[in-house]
Amino acid sequence: MTSKFLRVLLACAVALTVSALAQTGSAATPSSPASSPAAAPAPNTGTKVGAINVEGAIFGCNEGARELDALQKKFEPKRNELKSQNDELEGLKKQLTTTQDKLSEDALATLKKQIEGKQKLLDRAMQDAQEDFGTQEQEIFGRMLQKVAPVIVKYSQENGFGLIIDTSKQWPQGPVLLAGEAMDITKSVVDIYNAQSGVAAPTAGATKPAPKPGTGTGTAKPAAPTAPKQ
């Protein structure tokens, strides 16, 4: 599954979840005179326009950061394995560079074939690891979205927002060309969710901090398993 396709699924999930919650809140009315008006969610009648980095809010809140830190640690053995494979491959490439003028044609062909085979195995292993990591990362996102989306909707209703745009991916990767910090509600939503969840902040260095409001720089998530290539 490509990262572009995953981003499309993310965008659809966010839009559908938030929209459904907003419509539920707007449509809810007392079913009878005995129903308490105070129990009905306030309709979304605001006129202000706001912005939120949804990925940044989800992966930047304490609970999301904790989940991703756990995923990072889970994939650490695979990352080390890929690095070991890469180191071995680079050693063979260096051997080829330094000895190719001294090797016989058969020995040279054997070494080149060995390098080619190990390169294919490494590329396949890296792709599999990245896809596996991405799948589990999206599962975390989906679970967290169900928890964070109601906070977004409630905050927008209580603060007069009639439209909230997602700046997780800005132009040209996304539709948002520019979103100023003054209209960004990411930090407010994260602070509210952190207080609501009661999850403590992760230890220093566990995850990257959430992106600055309005920058749309993406998620505060650990990188998928990769092996450095020289």
At 160-175, the pLDDT tens digits run: 999 999 999 888 888 8
Which domain range does residue 14 map to? 3-20+44-71+131-197
33 φ/ψ angles, rounded to the nearest 5 degrees? -55, -25
Q: What is the pLDDT at residue 202? A: 83
Asked if residue 150 belongs to a domain, the reply is: yes
d(CA 178, CA 188): 20
Please indicate, yes or no, if residue 57 is contained in any of the structural domains. Answer: yes
Tokens of 123: 């590329």
Buried b (16+ CB within 10 A) or exposed e, 107-125: eeeebeeebeebbeebeeb
pLDDT of residue 34: 43
Q: Give how far Cα 219 sits from Cα of 41, 52, 108, 197, 213, Å.
A: 30, 12, 46, 20, 12
Looking at the 3D structure of the chain, how many domains does it have? Answer: 1
Residue 62 in domain: yes
This prediction's pTM:
0.72
Which CATH number characterizes residue 8's domain? 3.30.910
Domain presence at residue 173: yes
Q: Which residue ranges in the chain fall short of pLDDT 50?
A: 1-9, 28-40, 208-222, 230
Contact between residue 53 and residue 215 where contact means Cβ atoms under 8 Å apart: yes
